[in-house]
Amino acid sequence: MTSLAEPDPNMLEAVRGTRLVEARRDIAVTLHSFGGAAFLVALVLIATRFITRDGLFTRRPERLIHLGVAVSAAALIGFVWVLALRFRRGWRKSALLGAILGAAGLGCPFVAVALIGSPETRAENGSWALPLVILGALAGLLGFGVFRGRRWARFVLAVAAGLTTVALGFSATGAIRAAGDVWLSAILAGAAVPAILLFIALCMPGVAVIFPSKAGAPPQVTAMKRSSPLFLAGSRVATAFFVLVWALLTAAAAVNLPRALHRSRQRLTMTHIREVATAVEAYAADNHSYPDAKTIEELERCIEPTYSKALPRTDAWGWPLEYKAVFKPAEGKPPAAGEYVIRSPGRDGVYEKKDPAAYNAGAVSGFDRDLVFSNGSFSQWPEPAAGP
């Protein structure tokens, strides 16, 4: 009988060291993905601030949302393919490709939201550009240090993992206490698991051997027998959770984001209508009659600048608002505008009725339904966002 040769200890140590280095680079690629996504969104926010007209795809934002979701899903598939190559050949040159795919996939849904915003929304969102640039720079710098195995990166990563653990713990507790949301609390608690494992492993003395003072120094695996399993588990769970969160974010954007955007546009349209109505009521208080105007442009000439500095002319979908005064005859006096109607055609831009006064008061469902304001209150409004 032939006896099997004993495995070479030096070879086993080299294999184990390679796994630890690749696990360290897993974390680096994840950090670069987050940093790149932050930079991408910040650049788009800065660029859109110089666009004075309404956002792209203002009337049908779901088209751009679906495009962003499709790009994100394609990038996710590519990232999973790169991960499969990583387990066979290591990161090597595929690390850059993985970081690019991660940044593009995470950033595309947010880029789509930035592009379809109104000028007012873009101005508000623009304040996030500088924090995102700083966050992206810090994540990219830390990712570089972790990928190269810099010693300082170990301490910074340990601090980041510890702070992340504390933040997720408080968030999970708050989700239970405030809203009783067990699912959200479970997701936040699950996200804290890789952070806890990495924090414990990074705090052990032996982990310093894969963060040598010189780049390329071989890891001495025998010095970290206790911390290496924790480090490997933490990096792998973090990568898996990164992919899971990416997939959930993409699915949630595809299902909920278009509806949420149209709902917010309904609310903004109602705000525009109320602003017009307030100016009309102020005009009537001084002139004992509502403005004699047939279009929103004529109303603007009557109202500005005495009763409104900038009268809203369109709804949140970009369609012109309609104003109509209703004249009532009076004995011995010329007819005066005693009623008025302000309305928006909704998402589709088509009015349901030709006569603005022919609507039945009540709440309606659907983003294509008209929004109608008459004589101080809404006569047709969306449910359940608002009442009369």
**pLDDT tens digits along 217-237:** 444 444 455 567 778 888 888
Phi/psi of residue 180, nearest 5 degrees? 65, 30
Instruction: Answer with the one of 211, 239, 257 that is the final residue of a domain.
Output: 257
Query: CA-CA distances (angstroms) from residue 353 to 295, 357, 377?
Result: 17, 9, 19
Confidence of residue 1 (pLDDT cuts 50, 70, 90): very low
DSSP string, 57-109: TSS-HHHHHHHHHHHHHHHHHHHHHHHHHHHHH-STTHHHHHHHHHHHHHHHH
Higher pLDDT, 259 or 17: 259
Q: Report the pLDDT value the prediction gives residue 74, as an integer from 0 to 100.
A: 94
CA dihedral 281, 283, 284, 286 (to 10 degrees): 130
Q: Report the pLDDT value the prediction gives residue 293, as an integer from 0 to 100.
A: 85
Q: Report the pLDDT value the prediction gives residue 388, as an integer from 0 to 100.
A: 39
- Does residue 334 belong to any structural domain of this protein? yes
Distance CA 114, CA 108 (A): 10
Residue 99 and residue 77 share a domain: yes
* Residues 38 and 136 sit within 8 Å (Cβ to Cβ): yes
Residue 284 and residue 210 share a domain: no
Query: 302 is in which domain, residue-wise?
Result: 265-382
Residue 245 and residue 269 share a domain: no
- Does residue 236 belong to any structural domain of this protein? yes
Q: Please determine, for residue 139, whether its predicted confidence score (pLDDT) is greater than 60.
A: yes
Phi-psi group of 181: left, alpha or beta (phi > 0 → left; psi -120 to 50 → alpha; rest → beta): beta
> pLDDT per residue over 350-367, tens digit each?
999 888 878 887 888 888
Q: Report the pLDDT value the prediction gives residue 221, as an integer from 0 to 100.
A: 47
- What is the average pLDDT across 121-144? 86
Higher pLDDT, 174 or 122: 174
Q: Please determine, for residue 196, whether its predicted confidence score (pLDDT) is greater than 90.
A: no
Distance CA 356, CA 353 (A): 7
The share of the chain scoring above pLDDT 70, in percent, equals: 80
Residue 193 and residue 124 share a domain: yes
Give me the number of domains the chain comprises.
2
Q: Please determine, for residue 12, whether its predicted confidence score (pLDDT) is greater than 50.
A: no
Q: Please determine, for residue 331, whether its predicted confidence score (pLDDT) is greater than 70.
A: no
Residue 270 and residue 252 share a domain: no
CA–centroid distance for 198 within its chain: 27
Q: Which of 328, 325, 329 is nearest to 374 (CA)?
A: 325
* Residues 317 and 293 sit within 8 Å (Cβ to Cβ): no
Residue 378 and residue 252 share a domain: no
Q: Which amino acid is at 48?
A: T
Give the largest Cα separation in the chain, rounded.
Answer: 125
Q: Please determine, for residue 329, whether its predicted confidence score (pLDDT) is greater than 60.
A: no
- What is the average pLDDT across 180-193? 76
Phi/psi of residue 23, nearest 5 degrees? -65, -40
Residue 366 and residue 288 share a domain: yes
CATH of the domain at 309: 3.30.700
Confidence of residue 179 (pLDDT cuts 50, 70, 90): low
Q: Report the pLDDT value the prediction gives residue 6, as an integer from 0 to 100.
A: 46
Residue 280 and residue 182 share a domain: no
CB burial class (10 A; 0-12, 13-18, 19+) of residue 136?
A: buried
Confidence of residue 10 (pLDDT cuts 50, 70, 90): very low
Phi-psi group of 332: left, alpha or beta (phi > 0 → left; psi -120 to 50 → alpha; rest → beta): left
* Of the listed ranges 177-181, 278-282, 304-308, 317-321, the one predicted with least confidence: 177-181
- What is the average pLDDT across 47-68? 71
- Does residue 28 belong to any structural domain of this protein? yes
Residue 249 and residue 198 share a domain: yes
Instruction: Answer with the one of 257, 280, 311 that is the final residue of a domain.
Output: 257
Distance CA 79, CA 237 (A): 16
Confidence of residue 386 (pLDDT cuts 50, 70, 90): very low
Summary mean pLDDT of the chain:
80
Residue 303 and residue 156 share a domain: no
- Does residue 1 belong to any structural domain of this protein? no
- Does residue 388 belong to any structural domain of this protein? no
- Does residue 307 belong to any structural domain of this protein? yes
Confidence of residue 22 (pLDDT cuts 50, 70, 90): confident
Q: Please determine, for residue 245, whether its predicted confidence score (pLDDT) is greater than 70.
A: yes
Residue 181 and residue 74 share a domain: yes
Q: Report the pLDDT value the prediction gives residue 2, as an integer from 0 to 100.
A: 41
Instruction: Answer with the one of 257, 291, 325 that is the final residue of a domain.
Output: 257
* Residues 322 and 330 sit within 8 Å (Cβ to Cβ): no
- Does residue 3 belong to any structural domain of this protein? no
Q: Report the pLDDT value the prediction gives residue 335, as an integer from 0 to 100.
A: 43
| pTM of the entire predicted model | 0.75
Q: Please determine, for residue 264, whether its predicted confidence score (pLDDT) is greater than 50.
A: yes
Residue 277 and residue 133 share a domain: no
* Of the listed ranges 14-28, 140-154, 191-205, 289-303, the one predicted with least confidence: 14-28
Q: Report the pLDDT value the prediction gives residue 53, as an integer from 0 to 100.
A: 57
- Does residue 347 belong to any structural domain of this protein? yes
